[in-house]
Amino acid sequence: MAPRALAATLDTLPTGSARHSSADAAPDSARLLDLYRMLSNVRQLDTSAVAWQRQGLIPGYAPMLGQEAAQVGAGAAVDKTSDFVFPTYREMGVAYAFGVNMVEYMSTHKAIWHGGLYDPVETHFAPFQAVVGGSVLHAVGWAHGQTLNAASTAGAGLGVGLAFLGDGASSQGDVHEAMNFAAILKAPVVFFVQNNGWAISVPTEQQVAGGSVAARAAGYGMPAVRVDGNDVLAVLEATKRAVAHARAGLGPVVVEAMTYRRGPHSTSDDPGRYRTLDDEKIDGGEDPLTRFRSELLARGVADAAFFAGVDAEAQRHADDIRDGVVALESRPGSEMFDFVFQESTPTLGAQARQWREESEHV
Amino acid sequence: MAPRALAATLDTLPTGSARHSSADAAPDSARLLDLYRMLSNVRQLDTSAVAWQRQGLIPGYAPMLGQEAAQVGAGAAVDKTSDFVFPTYREMGVAYAFGVNMVEYMSTHKAIWHGGLYDPVETHFAPFQAVVGGSVLHAVGWAHGQTLNAASTAGAGLGVGLAFLGDGASSQGDVHEAMNFAAILKAPVVFFVQNNGWAISVPTEQQVAGGSVAARAAGYGMPAVRVDGNDVLAVLEATKRAVAHARAGLGPVVVEAMTYRRGPHSTSDDPGRYRTLDDEKIDGGEDPLTRFRSELLARGVADAAFFAGVDAEAQRHADDIRDGVVALESRPGSEMFDFVFQESTPTLGAQARQWREESEHV
Amino acid sequence: MSDTLEFVTEAATIPLVQLSMQQAINRALAEILDADDRALVFGEDVGVLGGVFRVTDGLQQRFGANRVFDTPLAESGILGTAIGLAMAGFHPIPEVQFDGFAYPAVNQIITQLARMNYRSRGRLPMPVTLRVPSFGGIRAPEHHGESLESLFAHVPGLKVVSPANPQQAYHLLKHAASMPDPVIFMEPKARYWNKGEVNLADNEGSFLEGSVIARPGKHATLIAWGAMVSRCLQVAELAAEDGIELEVLDLRWLKPIDEAGLAASVSRTRRAIVVHEGPHTAGLGAEVAALVSQSCFDSLRAPVERVTGFDVPYPSGDLEDEYIPNIDRILFGVQRVLEYRRG
Amino acid sequence: MSDTLEFVTEAATIPLVQLSMQQAINRALAEILDADDRALVFGEDVGVLGGVFRVTDGLQQRFGANRVFDTPLAESGILGTAIGLAMAGFHPIPEVQFDGFAYPAVNQIITQLARMNYRSRGRLPMPVTLRVPSFGGIRAPEHHGESLESLFAHVPGLKVVSPANPQQAYHLLKHAASMPDPVIFMEPKARYWNKGEVNLADNEGSFLEGSVIARPGKHATLIAWGAMVSRCLQVAELAAEDGIELEVLDLRWLKPIDEAGLAASVSRTRRAIVVHEGPHTAGLGAEVAALVSQSCFDSLRAPVERVTGFDVPYPSGDLEDEYIPNIDRILFGVQRVLEYRRG
Ligand SMILES: Cc1ncc(C[n+]2csc(CCOP(=O)(O)OP(=O)(O)O)c2C)c(N)n1
Ligand SMILES: Cc1ncc(C[n+]2csc(CCOP(=O)(O)OP(=O)(O)O)c2C)c(N)n1
Ligand SMILES: [Mg+2]
Ligand SMILES: [Mg+2]
C-alpha cells in the first residue's frame, strides 16, 4: 500500500473561477520560511503536549502529529479578520497558525474549561468542539449570515466559514445536512476534511463508503479538491482557491486533505491494538516537515542553519507555553453558574447560593 | 419547463451484473394486464380515500395521485416471501401491489391505529411510518440481517429490503447514515426514492442540492438508476434490476423514480398557496395511467372494453374497501397499555387499572 | 411573582382585540421582524406556504425571503444553522413543524444551542427562540401530539415557556424573542383556533415572568400549562357547582419554574393536583409535585396528585381522549386530594 | 420487591470471583454471545479495539466480525440499524461510546426503538439492549459525563437500569439481554475499574427486579443509583460514627421504578434523601421525590431532600467535584431532613 497522502487527487474546483489576488500569488520566500516556522512550532508544541500529559501536567491530549501540513496550510489560507474557523478537538495547528493564544488554547486539555479560555469572538476561532461533526452546521449558519449581511453592505467579498471535520465525522447525519444546506443556501463555507485514515480504531475504508469525502461533493453540486495533505504548499493553495470561490459568492467547497494520524487517537489510546508499526510507516509516508525541509533546500531559500535556529526557537516557545500552562489556575466553581445564561434565573441563583454555603462555606 | 418525469435519466447499475431470471423476462401480456389492473385499482382507491375524508369517514389522508406507476412498478418488482418493504405514509399503491389488506391499511387514516392494523410480519410490509426518513435505517439493518442469515444458510439469494423515501426525506441525516452504512455493510437494500417534486410546499430545487438523489449514490460507491417514474414498465424493470443486484450480494442500489405529486400533500393541504394549476399541468406531464393505456393499446394487448371493465371492477373493489373501513371500529382503550411492552411493568399495570376504574368505571 | 389575570383587564383604555392564538403568534412574529432587523424566521414550509398551521402566513411576502425562508427537510440542520446564525449576530426564530420532529434536533439543542453561551464563557450568546407546535388533541398522525417539556426543562441552558391563551401567546413570544438566551416556545396546537381577548399594550416585565392564577379558589390548586389550562378551568367551573372552589394556576414558564408562585397558591389551598398531557413517569408533573411537596410540607393536607398522560406512546386519534387527562380523570384527582385523610 | 445484599452472600457453595465492573460486563457479554447466536454486539470501536474502555475486549476475536463489529461513526445509524436487525430476528446489543453521544440517536430511540412494538401491535418486538457508559467522574472532555436517565425514563416503551457494582453489572446485563423489550443499560464509567465480588451462580428472577438495600439503617434513607451508591455508602459510614444509621437504597431499575421498595424503606426510616449526578430540575430525583412524598405522606417527618447535580452543563474536570454531589453536600442534605421541624 502507498502513502495515503499520495492518493489519487480530485479537483472539480473551476480555476480562476474567482479572482483572488492572494491565492494567485505563489508564496514568496519570506512566506515559505514563515510556513516552516509555523510547522516547526506546531510540531514542537504537539510533541511537548504529549510529554506534559505523561508528566501529569494535563490529564489528556489529542495529538495532531503528521497533520501539521494540513492544519498549518489551512490556517494560513484564511483571513483572521473576515473569516471564522470551526475546529474539532484536534486543530491545535490551525489555532497556532491562526494566532490563537496557545496557553488559553491548551487550557481545555488541562481540564480547566471545556471550550478553552480563548475568546472565540476576538480570535474568530470557535470554541473547542468535542462532538464529532457537531460544529459543521454552525459554520454553514455563520456563513449564511455573511451572505445576509452582504445583502445590506457593499459586496467586498464574503466572510468565509471554515469547517473542520475528519473522515469519521463524515459519517454523521449532521455533515450531510450541513453540505445540503450550504449548497442550497450557496453559503460561503469551506468544508475542510482531514482524512487522516482513522477514526480512533476504525480505518477510513470501513468508514467512508466510496473512499473519499471529496467525491461526495458532486452529489450536492459542489466543487471539491482532494489534495496531498502532507504538502503544506498544496494545502495552502487548494484552501486559498476554495476560500476565494466561497468569498466570491459562488457557494461552498469541499477540501479533502489526505493525511495520516501518525500518533494515537489521544493520549489514552493504544494504536498497537489495531495497527502495526509497518502499517504506520507505509501509510504515513514521509514526514510532512521533512518533506517541506527538502522542498526549501531544493528551492535554496533555506539551509540547515535556518532549520536548526527555527527548531531551537520553537523549543523555547513551547517551553514558554508550558510555563503558561503550569501557571494556569482552575476557574472558581462559581463560574459553573455564571455562564449558563446571559440572564440567570431565580432557580439557578438559589442553587449558586446553596453551592457557596455548602462548598465554600460562605 | 418539461414534465419532471422525463428528466435526464442516469444509470450506473451494471447490466447483467447479476443473473436474475425474473428481471430478464420482459412482462408477458397477462402480466401487463395485471399491472393495469393494479394501477386502476390504486387510482380508484386513492380517489375514493380523498372522498372519504371529505365525507368525514376518515380524518385525513395523503393522496398518491400521479405516483401510481412508481408505486405499482416498485411493489410488483419485489418478492413478498423473501423481501421486506419499508414504506412512508404515502405508499398505499405499494401496499396494494404487495397484497396488503387495504381495509387494515386504511385503518391508520381512520385514526384507529398509527401503524395500521395489518400484520407487518405476515405481509412483509413494515408499519406505516410518519417520521420522514425514519425507517430507511431499519431497511439497512433488516437487510444486513439477511446477509448474516445467509452466512449460515445456503446462498439462495438474499432477501432484499426496499426502503421508500421522498425527495424531502433525502435531506435527513438518517438517510445519509443509512446509505453509508448500507454501502459499508454491502447490505442487500434498495433505496427507492419517489422524487415527486415537492415536500409539502418546498420544491425539489430548494430541497435536493445537485438536483438528484440518484446522483448522490456515486459518493458512496453505490450504483443508481434514475428512471421515468410515470412509466410503470420502466420502474418495474429498473427496480427488478436493482433488487437482483442486491439479492446477488453485490450491495445496495439507489432507484430514483422521477414522478409528480399531482394532488395536495394531504387532505389538509392547499397547493394553490405554492403552485399554480399551470405548473401542475406542465410539471405533471401525462397521467401515468393514460400513458400505460396508450402503451397497451399500441401493443394491442388490451382494448377500450378491457379498460372499462377493469375500471368498473376497481370501482366496486374500492366500494367494498369503503364498507370495510366504515365497519372498522375503534380499538379498546386498554390496548394503549397492552402493546407498550412484551412484558408489562408494575407501574404500567397500575396505570391500566386506574384507567379502567376512572374511564371504564369497572 | 404570581399574577392574576384580573390584572390584565383592570388597566383601562388599552387596545383590546379578539385574536385566535394562531393570529396572535402571527402578529407577534410580524412585530418582532419589524422591530428587529436581525430577527429571522425559518423552518419547513414557513415561507410561501405560511406554515402548516398558517402561523407564519404572510411574513415572507412582507419581510422577504432573506428574513423568512424555507429550509430543506432536516431539523438538526435547522437548529445547527440557527446556532451559526446566532454566532453571526442574528436572532433566529426557527420552527420545527411538530413536537415529535424536534427529536432529530435534540443533539444540536442539548449539546450545542443550550451550551454555546457556557462553552464560550458568555462570548457567544444564543438568542434563539425555537417555536414548537406542541401537545396533542388534534387527531393527527403519529408523532404530532407529543409533550417534550420535561425533556427540555431538564436541559441546563434552556428556558421553556408555553402560553395558554392568545394574550399570553402574543406577549410571551415577543418577550422570549427579546431574551439573550435560548427559549423553547411550546405552542398548544389544539388551542390555535380558539379566539380570546388580546391586550396589545405592553405589560411591564413582571407580567411576563412566572406563573399566573387563571382562576382563584380556595379548596385546592389545579396546576397546568398549555392546553390543559382551559381544561382545568372547565373542571373548576363544574366543581364550583358543587361548591368546590378550585384555584387554577397556569405555570406558563416550564423553566425556570415559578417556585414562589406555586408555594403561595398551595400554601393557601393546602391541596394540589398537577395536570399534564405528557407521560407520567419523569414528566414535569414530578418536578412540580416534588417542589410543592417540599415548599408546602407543613401546609399540605393531602399528597400532591398527578393527573397526566399514561406511560404509553401517544395514541391514535380514536384513543386520544382516553390518553389526555379528561374532565373525569381530573375530577377523580380532585376528589382524591379532597377526601384524603391521614391514616 | 426490595432485597438485601446479604441475600447474595447467604447462599453457600456458589462460585465467587473478584472482578472489576468492566470485567464483569465483558464476561456477561461473552456469555450472552455464547448462549444466544442471535445476539450481536456492535458500535464504534467495539471490535478490533475492544472498546475505548475495553469492555468488549476479545469478543470479536472469539465470536468473529459477523457477531461483533465496528460501525461507521454515526449513533443514529447504530440505533436505526439495531432496530432493523431486531425486525430481522436478531438480539442487538449496541453501544454508544459515551452518554453524551446518545443524543444523536435520541430520535431513533424515542420515535422508533421505543415504539415499534406498540406501533406493530406486538408483532415487531425490540429485544435491544443499548449499552451506554454513563455519568461523570473521570475528568473527561465535554459530553463524556452526562446523566440521561430522566430523559430515557420518561420515554414510554423503554426500560432503564444502572448497576452499582460488578455483581449487579454481570447479572443485570445478562437479564436485560434476555428481555424481549428495549433496555437502556447505563454503566457508571467511574466504577469500571473498581473490583468486587461476583457470584456467578444464577439468581432467581426476584433478585434481578426492583431495588436493593445496599445498607440497612433506620434514621433516613439515601436513595441512589450508579456511581452515587458507593458514595452514599461512604456517607453512611461517616454518619454511623455519629450514631446516625442511614439506609442506602440502590434503585437499580430507573424504569420501572420500584415504588414498593421505596415506600417500604422510607415508611420505616420516615426520612429520605435522593442523590444523583444529573441536573436538578426534572431529574429522576423529582420522580423519586414525588413517589415517596405520595406513598409515605403520613410517615414522612421531613420533606424529601434532593442532592443532585446543578442546573448547569456538566463542567470540565477541574470543577467536576463541585458539580457531582460530594460527601459534604450529601451530609448537608441528611442534616436538613434530620433537623427538620414542622413550623
Ligand atoms: C457524536 C460523537 N460520537 C462519538 C464520539 C467519540 N469520538 C471522539 S473522536 C472519534 C473519532 C473521530 O474520527 P475523525 O472524525 O476521523 O477525526 P480524527 O479523530 O481522526 O481527527 C470518536 C468516535 C464523539 N466525540 N462524538
Ligand atoms: C422528521 C420529520 N420532519 C417533518 C415532518 C413533517 N412532514 C411530513 S411529510 C413532509 C414532507 C415530506 O416530503 P417528501 O419526503 O418529499 O415525501 P412526500 O410527502 O413528497 O411523499 C414533512 C415536512 C415529518 N413527518 N417528519
Ligand atoms: Mg480521522
Ligand atoms: Mg416529495
Residues B107 and B115: their CA atoms lie apart, in Å, by: 9
Residue A279 clears pLDDT 90, i.e. is over it = yes
Q: Which chains touch C (3 or more CB pairs under 8 A)?
A: A, B, D
Q: Whose CA is nearest to atom 7 of ligand 1?
A: A132
Name the pairing type of β-strands C129-134 and C3-4.
unpaired
Q: Considering every ligand atom, which ligand is closest to the CA of C73?
A: 2
Of A89, A171, A331, the CB nearest to D73: A171
Sign of the Cα pseudo-torsion (B334, B339, B341, B343, in order): positive
Strand segments, DSSP code E, in chain C are 3-4, 16-20, 39-43, 68-70, 91-95, 129-134, 159-161, 183-188, 195-199, 212-215, 220-224, 246-250, 253-255, 272-279, 305-309
Q: Beta partners for D308?
A: D276
Among the partner-chain residues B174, B209, B221, the one whose CB lies closest to the CB of A183 is B209
Determine the distance separating the centroid of ligand 1 and the alpha carbon of A335, expressed in angstroms: 28
- Contact, D114 vs D82, CB < 8 A? no
Nearest to A37 by CA among A311, A349, A317: A311
Gap between the Cα atoms of C89 and A146, Å rounded: 10
Among candidate residues A26, A49, A132, the one with its CA nearest the CA of residue A319: A49
Give me the residue label for grid cell 441525516.
B173
CA C47, distance to chain mean position in Å, is 24
Rounded to whole angstroms, how far apart are CA atoms B187 and B251? 5
A17 confidence band (pLDDT: 50, 70, 90): low
Which residue of C lies nearest to A350 if distances are taken between CA atoms? C259
Digit-by-digit pLDDT tens for chain B (362 residues) are 577 877 767 999 998 655 555 555 789 999 999 999 999 999 999 999 999 999 999 999 999 999 999 999 999 999 999 999 999 999 999 999 999 999 999 999 999 999 999 999 999 999 999 999 999 999 999 999 999 999 766 567 999 999 999 999 999 999 999 999 999 999 999 999 999 999 999 999 999 999 999 999 999 999 999 999 999 999 999 999 999 999 999 999 999 999 999 999 999 999 999 999 999 999 999 999 999 999 999 999 999 999 999 999 999 999 999 999 999 999 999 999 999 999 999 999 999 999 999 998 77
Which chain A residue has the Cα nearest residue D313?
A340
Q: D302 CB near a chain B CB, below 8 Å?
A: no
Residue D44 has pLDDT above 90, yes or no: yes
Q: Helix (H, G, I), strand (E, B), or coil: what is residue B11?
A: strand
What confidence tens digit (pLDDT) does each residue in C39-88 have? 999 999 999 999 999 999 999 999 999 999 999 999 999 999 999 999 99
| A172 Cα–ligand 1 center, Å | 10
Cβ contact B201–C49 (<8 Å): yes
Query: pLDDT tier at D292 (50, 70, 90 boundaries)?
Result: very high
Ligand 2 atom having least distance to the Cα of B89: 21
D70–A contact, CB cutoff 8 A: yes
CA of D115 to the centre of ligand 1 (A): 29
D8 pLDDT above the threshold of 50: no
State the angle between helix axes of D21-35 and D166-177 in degrees (0 to 180), rounded to the nearest 10: 30
Query: Which pLDDT tens digit goes with each residue over D202-237?
Result: 665 557 999 999 999 999 999 999 999 999 999 999
pLDDT value for D1: 37
Q: How many CB pairs under 8 A join A and B?
A: 71
Instruction: Check if C211 contacts A (Cβ < 8 Å).
Output: no
- Report the distance separating Cα A80 and Cα D305, nearest Å: 51
Q: Evaluate whether D47 touches D68 at the Cβ level (below 8 Å).
A: yes
Q: With bands split at pLDDT 50, 70 and 90, how would you rate the model's confidence at D192?
A: very high
Residue D223 Cα distances to A6, A215, B78, C174, D168, angstroms: 59, 54, 55, 42, 17
Q: Is A325 in CB contact (< 8 Å) with chain B?
A: no
Res C5: pLDDT:
38
- In this model, does residue C9 exceed pLDDT 60? no
Q: Could you say which ligand is closest to the alpha carbon of residue A131?
A: 1
- Say yes or no to pLDDT of C322 above 90: yes
* pLDDT tens readout for residues D235-248: 999 999 999 999 99
Q: Is B166 in the pocket of ligand 2 (CB under 6 A)?
A: yes
CB spacing of C52 vs B335 below 8 angstroms: no
pLDDT at B153 (0 to 100): 63
For chain B, say whether C47 makes contact (Cβ under 8 Å): yes
B196 C-alpha to ligand 4 centroid (Å): 5
The Cα–Cα gap between A275 and D214 comes to 44
Nearest residue, CB atoms, B331 vs list C45, C313, C319:
C319
Amino acid D4: pLDDT: 37
Instruction: List the subunits that have 3+ CB pairs under 8 angstroms with D.
Output: A, B, C
Residue A113 contacts C where some CB pair is shorter than 8 Å: yes
C-beta atoms surrounding C243 within 10 Å? 7
Residue owning the nearest CA to atom 12 of ligand 1: A199
Q: Does B331 touch chain C (CB under 8 A)?
A: yes
Alpha carbon distance D239, D333 (integer Å) = 12
Nearest neighbour of C45 by CB, restricted to B169, B202, B347: B202
Q: Is the CB of A45 under 6 A from ligand 1?
A: no
Q: Does the beta carbon of B336 lie under 8 angstroms from any beta carbon of chain C?
A: yes
- Tell me the shortest Cα–Cα distance from B246 to chain D, in angstroms: 17
Q: Relative to the CA of A89, which ligand 1 atom is closest?
A: 21
Here the cell at position D189 is 464509567
Interface subset of D 301-320, CB within 8 angstroms of C: 302-304, 306, 310-313
How do beta strands D16-20 and D195-199 pair? antiparallel
User: Which one from C91, C144, C171, C276 is the annotated catalytic residue?
Assistant: C144
Distance from CA of A247 to the nearest CA of C (A): 16
Q: Which residues of chain B does C329 touch, with a Cβ-Cβ cutoff of 8 Å?
A: 358-359
Based on the number of CB atoms within 10 Å of its own CB, is C242 exposed (0-12), middle (13-18) or buried (19 or more)?
exposed
B4 Cα: distance to centroid of ligand 2 (angstroms) = 20
Cβ(A199) – ligand 1 distance below 6 Å: yes
Tell me, what's the pLDDT at A154?
A: 58
B259 within 8 A of B70, measured Cβ to Cβ:
yes
Does B59 touch chain C if contact means CB atoms closer than 8 Å? Answer: yes
Give the pLDDT of residue B186: 98
Q: Give the strand order in the sheet containing A10-11.
A: A10-11, A224-228, A253-258, A189-195, A161-166, A84-86
In total, the C-beta contacts within 8 angstroms joining chain A to chain C are: 136
Q: Say which of C114, C303, C312 has its CB closest to residue D156.
A: C312
pLDDT, residue B19, reads 53
CA C44 – ligand 2 centroid, Å: 9
Chain C hits for D159, CB-CB cut-off 8 Å, are none
Residue A20 has pLDDT above 60, yes or no: no
Residues 6+ apart with CB under 8 A from A145: C84, C85, C87, C88, C89, C90
Ligand 2 atom with the shortest distance to the CA of B194: 21
Q: Which three cell numbers stand for residue B139?
A: 431497511
C262: left (phi over 0), alpha (psi -120 to 50) or beta: alpha
Enumerate the H helices of A125-231 as residue ranges.
136-152, 173-185
Joined together, the cell numbers standing for residue B291 give 400513458
User: Is the preceding omega at residue A3 within 30 degrees of 0, hence cis?
Assistant: no
Distance B310 CA to ligand 4 centre (A): 29
Q: Is the pLDDT of residue C193 over 60?
A: yes
Residues of D taking part in catalysis? 144
The maximal CA–CA distance of chain B, rounded, in angstroms, is 67
> Around Cβ B79, how many Cβ atoms within 10 Å?
15
* Least Cα separation, residue B176 to chain C (angstroms): 12
Contact at CB, C45 and B89, closer than 8 angstroms: no
Residue to mutate (ligand 2; options C97, C103, C142, C144; most atoms within 8 A of CB): C97
Known active-site residue C175: no
In angstroms, rounded to a whole number, what is the distance separating the alpha carbons of residues D66 and C153? Answer: 41
CB contact under 8 A, A172 and B173: yes
Residues in chain A within 8 Å Cβ distance of D98: none
Q: Is the pLDDT of residue A19 over 60?
A: no
pLDDT at residue D133, rounded to an integer: 98
